[in-house]
Amino acid sequence: MSLQIYIDGKYYDKKDAKISVYDHGLLYGDGVFEGIRSYNGRIFKCREHIDRLYDSARALTIKIPISKQEMIDALYDALKTNDLTDGYIRLVVTRGVGDLGLDPNKCPKACVIIIADKIQLYPEEIYVEGLELVTAATPRNHQEALNPRIKSLNYLNNILAKLEGIQAGVKEVVMLNLDGYVCECSADNIFVVKNGRIKTPPSSASILKGITRDTIIDLALAGGKEVRETNVTRYDLYTADEVFLCGTAAELLAAIKLDGRVIGEGIPGPIFKDLLARYHKMVNEA
């Protein structure tokens, strides 16, 4: 059986899963989404993802046509329908079908799409050896222009930064905010380790307040590590003992080089390895 895609309560074969060309999610990037992992048939941090989705939609005044519990039930049903236990769910809510104008009031009902599939963003050796980064010239959007805490379908800011990485021959980039502080990568949050202490940019630094990021902070604190949410500069990255990234799709990755400069010993460090082991243990027991 081919992959089955959920659209507004019905399933369609992958090749037949379509939305209208008048959907404002397509025309204007007007919508929100979540990327969610399942492990052993259980959706990891499901409630947190759903809460963030509904908060993002509320910030855009999109009314999601089903309740949170109905959405959770639909996620599990999509996994079951596609015979997935360890999978990746892309949950999308668009503004819905309207006309060619901007007016969201012309879109009477939001569209809900659930894609349950598998994902691997990076080759296996990256997870073992670490990855190289460059600093993107493209700055992060000002948070009052498009707040990155809204996980919207408009990802051009991230894509432009990602293109710089591709052109530089690396798989991920560091993005700075308009004040010059490190905020995040194109698709991942970032952590810095120096003298056993962990720092990560605060939510006020134009970042997506990642669910995996918050999980890593909790794991580090539970392991007796000091964690500070504070402004981070490129100097902090250049002189760090360790740098690592996290995100739902990527999970955890060590960064071993930035802008051609070796980070620490140039290999994944002990704090990263400890947190990676703790994370894997958590997701498999959740």
Catalytic residues: 151
Distance from C-alpha of 140 to C-alpha of 144, rounded to nearest angstrom: 11
Distance from C-alpha of 244 to C-alpha of 89, rounded to nearest angstrom: 24
- CA distances 150 to 32, 103, 108, 141, 144, Å, are 7, 20, 21, 12, 11
Single-letter residue type at 249: A
Beta 189-194 vs 197-200: how paired, if at all?
antiparallel
Q: Which residue has the tokens 């990891």?
A: 44
Contact 119, 84 (CB under 8 A): no
Contact 62, 98 (CB under 8 A): no
Which two structure tokens, joined as six digits, stand for 118?
Answer: 């598998």
